[in-house]
């Protein structure tokens, strides 16, 4: 389960940002997770519940998750399509000359604190 490692990294990053901005409490952390990133949102939430109990700064915080859709671009026809629905084959022209545009990343989008 690599989600716990990701959560540990997120917590360290949030704690650094809090220290730089003199925050004493974190209310929520919003993460963007790519639909085809391999990160399981439910596991992230479970790991957050465990990890936040170990941090005074994050103990009452909420983890919010936004899913970024997987979008693939076809090099032959120039159109985009849903990666999850059609995978590697372009539904517009049938080409396999495609590449992933977005949807495989992970980022901290927002930190709400006081």
Among 54, 37, 49, residue whose Cα is nearest residue 2:
37
Q: Is residue 2 part of an annotated ligand binding site?
A: yes
The CATH number assigned to the domain with range 3-69+103-113 reads 3.30.2320.80
pLDDT at 2: 87
Q: State yes or no: pLDDT of 103 exceeds 60.
A: yes
**Which pLDDT tens digit goes with each residue over 9-36?**
999 999 999 999 999 999 999 999 999 9
Dihedrals phi, psi of 79, to nearest 5 degrees: -95, 160
74 is in an annotated binding site: yes
Residue 47 marked in a binding site? no
Condensed to tens digits (0 to 9), the pLDDT of residues 69-102 reads 999 999 999 999 999 999 999 999 999 999 999 9
3 state SS for 22-62? CCCCEEEEEEEEECCCCCCHHHHHHHHHHHHCCCCCCCCCE
Q: Where in the chain are the domains?
A: 3-69+103-113
Q: Is 92 among the annotated ligand-binding positions?
A: no
Per-residue pLDDT of 40-76, as tens digits, reads: 999 999 999 988 999 999 999 999 999 999 999 999 9
Q: Kindly tell me if the per-residue pLDDT of 1 is higher than 60.
A: no
């Amino acid at each position: 389960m690599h989600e716990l490692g990701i959560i540990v990294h997120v917590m360290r990053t949030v704690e650094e940002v809090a220290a730089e901005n003199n925050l004493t409490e974190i209310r929520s952390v919003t993460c963007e997770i790519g639909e085809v990133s391999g990160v399981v949102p439910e596991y992230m939430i479970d790991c957050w519940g465990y990890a936040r109990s170990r941090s005074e700064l994050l103990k009452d915080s909420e983890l919010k998750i936004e899913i970024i859709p997987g979008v693939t671009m076809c090099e032959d026809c120039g159109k985009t399509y849903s990666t999850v629905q059609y995978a590697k084959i372009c539904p517009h022209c049938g080409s396999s000359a495609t590449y992933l545009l977005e949807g495989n990343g992970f980022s901290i989008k927002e930190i709400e604190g006081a």
